[in-house]
Amino acid sequence: MLPSDDDGDDVQKVPMDLAMNARSLGADVIRCRTYDDFTAALQKAKEADHTTVVYIENDRYVEVSGYDSWWDVPVAEVSDSESVQAARKEWEEMRKKERYFL
């Protein structure tokens, strides 16, 4: 059973290096720390002729300041529930405002 956020500081990280795991399977790994690193890594990965992993280490508890964004998670298109219908309508409106950066 995986730990939950309620488990607090008693949770120990799984000692796994995902970048090294990808390398062990033959992939090229590009580590990123900044947005510029990330965009450069994506370009390099697009030009590669073999499997390339863009690796960005993060912590889900560290927030990005000033991050005003929206996750594009589709809502059911057909539902009898009024709240789902309202959520779908809001989702369709937000989709119109999406911008593509890369």
pLDDT in tens, 2-24: 777 777 777 777 778 999 999 99
The pLDDT assigned to 62 comes to 72
The pLDDT assigned to 47 comes to 96
The pLDDT assigned to 7 comes to 79
Instruction: Give dist(CA 61, CA 57) in Å, integer.
Output: 12
- Residue 63 carries which DSSP code? P
> Which residue, among 56, 91, 64, 63, has the nearest Cα to 77 in the 3D structure?
91
Predicted structure pTM score: 0.55
Which tokens is 27 given?
């992939």
Which amino acid appears at position 54 of this protein?
V
The pLDDT assigned to 6 comes to 79
The pLDDT assigned to 1 comes to 63
* Low-confidence spans in the chain with pLDDT less than 50: none
The pLDDT assigned to 45 comes to 95
